[in-house]
Amino acid sequence: MNCRASFFLEDGMNTIKKICIDPGHGGDDNGAAWGHAEEDDINLSVAYLLRCELEKRGVDVVMTREADVYVALADRCMIANKAHSDYFVSIHCDAFHKETASGISTHVFRGASDVSMALAERVQGAMLKRFPGHLNRGVKLAGFCVLRHTLMPAVLVECEFISNPDTRKFLREPENQLAIARAIAGAI
């Protein structure tokens, strides 16, 4: 599918030309799984929609995986770094042993650049604006490998909790997946 349009996103003085999207988990690593929902499938669906939204805006997109396959964390970083991506965005669903846990969060590496922090704040703000009834879990500092070993500004978005029956239903709905993708693309 060609989703390309004829304009570029602006990041201050720099034109954003290429973004690496990382649909978390995949293959034998399903991530969190509750009921009939597996995190890696939702991540991939949202990532595809995000790719389309960004391509409509004229951005080249590199994906760390395009099917239900396992890609090692180091390889995800290598894909982003070799592509000389301007931003790295990893898509995930959160989970917790208490089924009532809910909310949206965006993670950056501890000691992240100001650009990474600004991107995380924009993504978090856009998600909460689009989904005002969802809990704001905030921008969090994390040591995730994909944030630590990517050379460009990087964020990891926890779109909601797959372990909560209500938010799991939300995550599985195609219109919500599209809305998540549009919120993230708009923030970028």
CATH code for the domain in which residue 112 is found: 3.40.630.40
Q: Is residue 53 part of a domain?
A: yes
Helices 39-56 and 174-187 cross at an angle (nearest 10°) of 50
More confident call, 54 vs 14: 54
Rg, the chain, Cα only: 15
CA dihedral 62, 65, 71, 72 (to 10 degrees): 30
User: In terms of residue numbers, what domain contains 35?
Assistant: 18-187
pLDDT of residue 37: 86
Rounded Cα distance between 178 and 45, Å, is 9
Instruction: Tell me the average pLDDT across 165-171.
Output: 97
- Strands (E) in 3-125, as ranges, are 9-11, 14-16, 18-23, 33-34, 37-38, 60-63, 87-94, 104-109
pLDDT at 13 over 50: no
Q: How many domains does the chain have?
A: 1
Q: What is the DSSP letter of 13?
A: T
pLDDT at 6 over 50: no
Q: Is residue 72 part of a domain?
A: yes
Q: What is the DSSP letter of 68?
A: S
Q: Are 4 and 55 in contact (CB under 8 A)?
A: yes
User: For 99-142, what is each residue's pLDDT tens digit?
Assistant: 999 999 999 999 899 999 999 999 999 999 999 999 999 999 99
Q: Is residue 7 part of a domain?
A: no
pLDDT of residue 160: 97
Element (DSSP H or E) covering residue 22: strand 18-23
Q: Is residue 131 part of a domain?
A: yes
pLDDT of residue 51: 98
Sign of the alpha-carbon torsion through 186, 21, 42, 162: negative
Q: Is residue 174 part of a domain?
A: yes
Backbone angles phi, psi at 179, to 5 degrees: -65, -35
Q: Is residue 26 part of a domain?
A: yes
User: For 18-28, what is each residue's pLDDT tens digit?
Assistant: 999 999 998 88
More confident call, 8 vs 159: 159
For residue 2, what pLDDT band results from cuts at 50, 70 and 90? very low
pLDDT at 3 over 70: no
Q: Is the pTM of this model over 0.85?
A: yes
Q: Is residue 4 part of a domain?
A: no
pLDDT of residue 118: 97
User: For 35-83, what is each residue's pLDDT tens digit?
Assistant: 788 999 999 999 999 999 999 999 999 999 999 999 999 999 999 999 9
Q: Is residue 69 part of a domain?
A: yes
